[in-house]
A = this chain, B = another copy of it.
Amino acid sequence: MRAVARAYSVKDVAARAGVSLGTVSNVLNRPDRVSPLTRAKVEQAMRDLGFVRNESARQLRAGRSRTLAYVLLDARNPFFTDVAEGAERAAEAAGLSLFLCHSDNRASREADYLAHLVEQRVQGILVTPVDPHASVLDDVRRNGTPLVIVDRTREDADFCSVAVDDELGGRLAVEHLIEQGHTRAAFIGGPDTIGQVRDRLEGARSAWSDAGLPDDQLVVIPTDGLTVVEGRSAGERLMGIGRRRRPTAAFCANDLLALGLLQQLSTAGSTVPGDLAIVGYDDIEYASAAAVPLTSVRQPRQELGRRAAELVLDEADNPAHVHEQVIFTPELVARRSTLG
């Protein structure tokens, strides 16, 4: 096995091919300017040596890199991986690579990644930040690296951002339940430190009162997180309410909660949507694959990633770039969990 020697450079290739360094570079970058014969010699030498361009040197020379990065909150959440997939495709189309960085919801790790990416002079950064107002984001901007905020927004317009209208999503969910004839409903979700949760509840409430239904008939069942386990626990509390006063429908702040709720009901022998209609949020793969297929609010996830990548590239390439706050529209997908 060969020792871990220094990799070969254009200089080595030139020496082996018996030409100058500049000619090798021409073969790489403007092959038409090189005679077929010398080109063949050079290409042979490259193969012999297993030559690979040194991207650091190229980048140093060029002043910019050929990579994008997406710093995401939670790699286990299908929402973010779908966003990443959309960004990946846009990057691929632009001839760039996309690296994923998993902050795992930790501000310090997010900061480490951002610092490293800025030092790398990546062409652009997409980030779903732990806190959209944290100064680390401004630091990135100050250092001249294009940055787009994904799935969060900021009041100021210092950054491009792409997000989904969560208030509208909440509205759609509740309007659907009202259409189905429900007049007592529950909102299940929390903690309300999460902006998305607040917005969805807000939308739910305004749809509710717009329909002329009394506020106290939309009860809020708070949870400590957006997980299956929390959903089950919320289900126990919900079904603990006396039948007369109990909601006939529930809108969950995400699908994991809805799946937990569904499990809890089926374990307890209740039926969906007979005893309780359920709407989730996110339309994750498991939503349609659930025992009772779940009505859910779908966000254009890949689209979100694609658009974010396009914006960051525009910021990188276009001197006349203007920051944009893109808001996508969610969509209700009705399935058996609300349709009898």
Please give the residue numbers on chain A whose beta carbons come within 8 Å of chain B beta carbons, in ascending order: 1-7, 50, 52-57, 59-60, 63, 65-67, 69, 75-76, 78, 81, 84-85, 88, 92, 97-102, 104, 109, 112-113, 116, 118-121, 139, 142-144, 158, 227-229, 232, 260, 263, 266-267, 285-286, 289-291, 316, 319
When distances are taken between beta carbons in the complex, the residues of chain B under 8 Å from A101 are 97-100
Given contacts A56-B56, A260-B289, A81 and B85 within 8 Å (CB-CB): no
Q: Are B60 and A56 in touch, CB under 8 angstroms?
A: yes
CB distance from A327 to the nearest CB of B (A): 22
Q: Are A65 and B76 in touch, CB under 8 angstroms?
A: no
When distances are taken between beta carbons in the complex, the residues of chain B under 8 Å from A1 are 158
18 more contacts with CB within 8 A, not counting A5-B144, A56-B59, are A6-B63, A7-B121, A7-B144, A50-B142, A55-B116, A55-B119, A55-B120, A56-B60, A56-B120, A76-B78, A76-B285, A88-B102, A99-B101, A228-B286, A229-B289, A260-B289, A267-B291, A291-B291
18 A-B pairs in the complex with CB atoms less than 8 angstroms apart = A1-B158, A2-B144, A4-B316, A7-B121, A7-B143, A54-B60, A54-B119, A55-B116, A56-B56, A56-B60, A57-B60, A67-B116, A99-B100, A99-B101, A100-B101, A228-B289, A232-B289, A263-B289
Q: Are A119 and B53 in touch, CB under 8 angstroms?
A: yes
When distances are taken between beta carbons in the complex, the residues of chain B under 8 Å from A121 are 7, 54-56
CB distance from A6 to the nearest CB of B (A): 7
Which of B59, B66, B116, B227 is within 8 Å of A97, CB to CB?
Answer: B116
